[in-house]
Amino acid sequence: MRKVAVIGSSGAIGSAFVNHYINDLSVNSIFSFSRSSIGIDNNKVKHFSIDIENESSIQNAAKSVEEINFDEVIIASGLLHTNEFGPEKSIKDLKADNILKVLNVNTVGPAILGKYFLPLLNKDNKSVMAFLSARVGSISENKLGGWYAYRASKSALNQVIKTFSIELKRTNPKAIIIGLQPGTVDSELSAPFKRSVSNNKLFSAEYSVSQLIGVIERADESSSGNLISWDGEIISP
């Protein structure tokens, strides 16, 4: 029986992962981490508070489950916009505080989560740590410009993922570290922009997660370090 963790479980994709695992008979324990309650009452689920912008909070959360050998850890946190700012359309929109906020949530937080949770991955069998990333983090595919902070934060996250994968080949060879591109999901993150997305490319969180689970299940040692789309495509850096 497998043990899984979902960090960022109060968001649309994170909660969809939790619900998927609840219905997965091969999973007997789900460890849910988020700043706020997820409102899911199930015997499989144990919830813990975490603030991914605070290293002490991350360290304490990991310590509370330090006896667990996780088969899968999903990092489902992310930030594109707040009530105060949105993604930049041009150079004149750049503001240092906004850039730092996005980098802190999308890059620094996941890196520190890796610091404390990667040592908790199962070393006896295949284990996976999967980070939600984004195609717009690909430098080679950037044809439109804009979204400076978000693009930079996801590019940096993809580098962190790659570097984690190299180190884990030495310390835990059966561990697979990947980035996941979930597609455009109907969620709070995409809400201001989804009018420009065609219906067949706007996914429910449940559909996206069902596809991402397939990516995770198919992932092997050759997958480690890559950013992989919901449809299995490996996205170029």
Residues 6+ apart with CB under 8 A from 237: 138, 139, 140, 155, 158, 162, 227
Count of Cβ atoms closer than 10 Å to residue 28 Cβ: 13
- Per-residue tokens: 185: 């999901």
Name which residue leads in pLDDT, 41 or 152: 152
Could you write out the three-class secondary structure of 54-72? Answer: CHHHHHHHHHCCCCCCECE
Helix, strand or coil, per DSSP, at residue 160: helix
Per-residue pLDDT tens over the stretch 68-79: 999 999 999 999
| Topology at the third CATH level for domain 2-235 | Rossmann fold (3.40.50)
pLDDT of residue 54: 98
19-68 per-position pLDDT tens digit? 999 999 999 999 999 998 888 889 999 999 999 999 999 999 999 999 99
Q: CA 142, 146, 148, 154 torsion: positive or negative?
A: negative
Confidence band of 110 (pLDDT split at 50, 70, 90): very high
DSSP three-state, residue 122 = coil
Q: Residues 6 or more apart from 161 whose CB is under 8 A from it?
A: 131, 133, 177, 178, 179, 225, 227
pTM value? Answer: 0.93
